[in-house]
Amino acid sequence: MREAYHGELDEIRDGLVELANLVGSSMGLATTALLDADLGLAESVIATGEKLDDLQRDLENRAVAVLARQQPVARDLRVVVTSLRMSADLERCGVLAQHVAKLARMRYPARPVPRDLRRTVLEMGQLAQRLMAQAAEVVVTEDVDAALQLEKDDDRMDELHRVIFQHLMDDRWQHGVETAVDVTLVGRYYERFADHAVSMAQRVVYLVTGELTPDMPT
Amino acid sequence: MREAYHGELDEIRDGLVELANLVGSSMGLATTALLDADLGLAESVIATGEKLDDLQRDLENRAVAVLARQQPVARDLRVVVTSLRMSADLERCGVLAQHVAKLARMRYPARPVPRDLRRTVLEMGQLAQRLMAQAAEVVVTEDVDAALQLEKDDDRMDELHRVIFQHLMDDRWQHGVETAVDVTLVGRYYERFADHAVSMAQRVVYLVTGELTPDMPT
């Protein structure tokens, strides 16, 4: 009995990792679609949205089923509750990747990101995907140091976000208001995506140490 | 025993309602601070952030404690899991109200919202607060019709959000890029706030009917 039950917890964890990887890939592909005005790629990212929803719902249902059938306590209970929260984080990340892909589609054939911000947005997209891969790893390894490192790596996202704002607020901005609005929203999507990855890592820290990290991302 | 346990569920529900009301008030006050460039009011909203965090954490701890001690099943289990999700919704809403207040503080003594969008932003702020009050009511009454009505009322938020974009994309926009960025973000804060209120109502529908509504807000 105990073995079957821990098998279920393992399956939930595997589901989280699978979803995290898919969501990370979606954000990476959406970034390429945005930067290259690649309509086909944007459409294919948008098309995976439903699959992500199904996976996420399945994961939640499995977590609730474990609560109902196994009535876990102590650490096992915390594992399940944490999984529910991570699953919600991943749901939002999937939606954020969709937002990036939908912007690419909406502006097609134009490229919403001006040339002088291309490198910054590319780095944001890659960093978002990398932070999510790290978060997935932390879910498996429960390595507290790696989780804290992820928080530090997220500082770079904040820097990149500031770079975008500096461009926007510069008097020499020549790309008009529509592009300013697009870039503002895109910057926020990446930042929120990264926040969710950090939040997942922090939940693992809480699971392992029982301590809340003082600054949950906003 | 059973009575004490249901008392705990009632307390969790009361906590959700209290938090929803505080978060709604915060968004209302933050809106006034933003529109009137009222620094004192902005500061006082920002100062309540910690209280909201404490309440939210307390609520979560109580929900997890019920899971651990009472091992609820069936509907009671769904009530607790739903409470955890709503608590996360409310946490985000509190952060969004803080974002509005912090923008007011950052731009003080300037007013980031141009005069021709003042009425729209005022309506967004009021609607956000009203939707949250409705969500709190639905949590208490579990009235499915009221929950579905809330979803319809949220359509107005989408309309107002479109009004903002129309202004931003209009060639006659004369308020510069910084204001465009501010207004873009503010619009998104209200829209996300309202989405969380809708999401709370949908969770109540799920609790009562066992049916997921097809379109969770994005």
* Cβ-proximal residues to B100 (8 Å cutoff; 6+ apart), any chain: B27, B30, B31, B33, B34, B45, B125, B186, B189
Q: Distance between CA atoms of B55 and B7, rounded to whole angstroms?
A: 18
Q: Compute the average pLDDT of residues B194-211.
A: 92
pLDDT tops 50 at residue A218: no
**Helix or strand run (H / E) with residue A22:** helix A2-36
Q: Compute the average pLDDT of residues B191-195.
A: 98
pLDDT tops 90 at residue A206: no
Q: Which residues of A touch B177 (CB under 8 A)?
A: 168-169, 173, 177, 180
- Which of B89, B96, B98 shows the shortest CA–CA distance to B196? B89
Q: Distance between CA atoms of A117 and B15, rounded to whole angstroms?
A: 45
- Whether B180 and A177 lie within 8 Å, measured CB to CB: yes
DSSP type of residue A71: -
- Whether A168 and B181 lie within 8 Å, measured CB to CB: yes
pLDDT tops 70 at residue B7: yes
CB B150, CB B138: distance < 8 Å? yes
Q: Compute the average pLDDT of residues B172-186.
A: 95
Q: Chain B closest CA to A56's CA: distance in Å? A: 13
CB A146, CB A134: distance < 8 Å? yes
At residue B127 the predicted structure's pLDDT band, cuts being 50, 70 and 90, is very high
> pLDDT tens across A20-71, in order?
999 999 999 999 999 999 999 999 999 999 999 999 999 999 999 999 999 9
pLDDT tops 50 at residue B216: no
* Cβ-proximal residues to B166 (8 Å cutoff; 6+ apart), any chain: none
* Cβ-proximal residues to A67 (8 Å cutoff; 6+ apart), any chain: A77, A80, B67, B77, B81
**Dihedral of the CA atoms B133, B137, B140, B141 (nearest 10)?**
-170
Q: Distance between CA atoms of A122 and B34, rounded to whole angstroms?
A: 33
Chain centroid to Cα B193, Å, comes to: 4
pLDDT tops 60 at residue B27: yes
> pLDDT tens across B153-162, in order?
999 999 999 9
Structural domains of chain A sorted by starting position, each given as residue range(s) with its CATH number in brackets: 2-209 (1.20.58.220)
B184 touches chain A (CB under 8 A): yes
- Whether B81 and A84 lie within 8 Å, measured CB to CB: yes
Q: Which residues of B touch A168 (CB under 8 A)?
A: 177-178, 181
Q: Compute the average pLDDT of residues A168-193.
A: 95
pLDDT tops 90 at residue A1: no
Classify the phi-psi angles of B111: left when phi > 0, otherwise alpha if psi is within -120 to 50, otherwise beta: beta
B161 touches chain A (CB under 8 A): no
Please, what's the b/e burial string for B104-120 (b: 16 or more CB within 10 A of its CB; e: otherwise)?
bbebbeebbbbeebeeb
Q: Compute the average pLDDT of residues A78-84.
A: 94
Residues in A 77-106 with any Cβ partner in B closer than 8 A: 77-78, 81, 84-85, 88, 95, 98-99
Chain centroid to Cα A58, Å, comes to: 18
CB atoms within 10 A of CB B80: 23
Q: If DSSP states are collapsed to H, E and C, what string results for B28-79?
A: HHHHHHHHHCCHHHHHHHHHCHHHHHHHHHHHHHHHHHHHHHHCCCHHHHHH
> pLDDT tens across B28-80, in order?
999 999 999 999 999 999 999 999 999 999 999 999 999 999 999 889 999 99
**What percent of chain A is modeled with pLDDT above 90?**
89
pLDDT tops 70 at residue A93: yes
Q: Distance between CA atoms of A85 and B129, rounded to whole angstroms?
A: 25
